[in-house]
Amino acid sequence: MTLPTADVIDHLADIRPGSFVDRVRAERPETRANAQKSYLALFEPAQEGDVSRTERFIVAAFVTGLHGADAVEEFYAAGIGGNASLIAALKSEIEAGRTSGPYGKYPSGPLSSEDKPGPVFTVSDPGQKILGHKLSAALEHAHLLVYRPREASPEALQALLNAGWTTTAVVTLSQIVAFLAFQVRVVTGLAALSAAGEGTLASATAAE
């Protein structure tokens, strides 16, 4: 996949070169560079390893869809390719899985008073047929990390291993989910900052 710009966050937040937000990001060049390096390491690695490029983008589209980040979801969905039935199944699972959180049970102890009930997501039977058992397990685990992180456990990791993911792949999948939570927050914040900056500029221009 060829990136539309050198920096994927700039692209997703629609940051134009020389704009107010571009200058704000330029004040922290290491942060900007490291975010891009993280994206490249997770989605454009020199060696795919135990998680294929397509699998990475499927998980990413699902996770960003759960976050309600439509533009980011579309970006990752575009990286999957032209498999219409797979895209349709993925969108259906996103709609079924989207809820509000976090929720779940803490291990028995002082935090148990903060337990909050919520749905446990499982991929539908039609989704299983298209996505397969391995990817379905990955999406179910991603849903857990997004909405029920307090229920992350050795048993949850074992479910991924039982589905055919390697230990290295499990680490990669967890890194992808964590990175996307960061990326969605940054893109949302920068887009809001950009809109606010443009509004202020427009008001100042109108007052002249």
The full length of the chain comes to 208
Using pLDDT thresholds of 50, 70 and 90, give the confidence band for residue 195: confident
User: Stretch 156-185: mean pLDDT, rounded?
Assistant: 98
Residue 27, burial from CB neighbour count under 10 angstroms (0-12, 13-18, 19+): exposed
CA distances in angstroms from 3 to 68, 103, 166, listed in the order given: 22, 36, 29
pTM for this model (two decimals): 0.91
- Examine the pLDDT at 150 and tell me if it is beyond 50: yes
Tens digit of each residue's pLDDT (9 = 90 or more) over 47-59: 999 999 999 999 9
Domain ranges of the chain: 8-193
- Does the pLDDT at position 2 exceed 80? no
| Helix 53-66, helix 29-43: angle, nearest 10 | 120
Tell me the β-bridge partners of 116. Answer: 104
Looking at residue 65, its amino acid is G
194-198-199-203 Cα dihedral, nearest 10 degrees:
160
Q: Which CATH architecture has domain 8-193?
A: Up-down Bundle (1.20)
Share of the chain above pLDDT 70, in %: 92
For residues 54 and 64, what is the distance between their CA atoms, to the nearest angstrom?
15
